[in-house]
Amino acid sequence: MWILVSLVLIFFAAYLVVTYMNNKIYKKYENLLYVVNCLINTIEAKSPVTYMHTERVCLYALKLGKALNLSKKNLMLLKQAALLHDIGKLGIPDNILNKPDKLTDREFEIIKNHPQKGYDILKGSKELEPIAKLILCHHEKYDGSGYPNGLAGDEIPYLSKIITIADSFDVITSNRPYKTPSSIETAADELKKCKWSHFDGNMVDVFIDILMKDNEIKDIMNSRIKKDGQ
């Protein structure tokens, strides 16, 4: 009898500990989401164009991440990093960030500081540091010709490689005063040309397969074409 009582007490104590830890983790996660949402709102307030870009990049990145069978934990990390990948643009002067014309070489050099600025904004928080590291590397290229640190191949974080592809696809298919938006098919060709130079080639193959089949992405592209044509 006492053995049974002891086992019940041990089980109940373990249950209380697990419940406490889960609540603590959930609270920590809630706080992290609050901070992330505040940062996203800040991006939207400074540059609505950048905000809409990050929303699309997040969508594309998550579709690729799911196709690559990422864990739920890594998908959540990918989502947060994709939404905040341009947070460093908060430190870029408005006249450059929102310039309607093509950037000069000097202005582009200033824009290129945004991954480092984004890292600097987030690195002070222990909870946001993993996101900061991904943001720092989202303009690195597979062949080492990217910035800010010239990382190559597997030196680049796996999730950063995903964001790079999603980010590039959205830029290629976006309308600018100095360039017309490319179709999905043309964008796919551009990505193919940069396999193993700018991008992880295996990831590009998976993403192109998504582009050819995903109706949600096609709907987004069609709505943007209609909007730009108004």
pLDDT digits (tens, 9 = 90+) for 13-44: 333 333 444 444 445 556 666 777 777 777 76
Is 12 exposed, middle or buried, given 0-12, 13-18 or 19+ CB atoms closer than 10 A? exposed
Helix or strand holding residue 78 (H, E): helix 72-83
> How many other CB atoms sit within 10 Å of the CB of residue 46?
15
pTM: 0.84
Pair 218, 194: CB distance under 8 Å: no
pLDDT digits (tens, 9 = 90+) for 191-208: 999 999 999 999 999 999
pLDDT at 229 over 70: no
Between residues 46 and 70, the one the model is more confident about: 70
Q: Which long-range contacts (CB under 8 A, 24 or more apart) does 104-108 make?
A: none
User: How many whole angstroms separate alpha carbon 212 and alpha carbon 52?
Assistant: 23
> How many other CB atoms sit within 10 Å of the CB of residue 198?
21
User: How many whole angstroms separate alpha carbon 230 and alpha carbon 226?
Assistant: 6
**pLDDT > 70 in the chain, percent:** 81
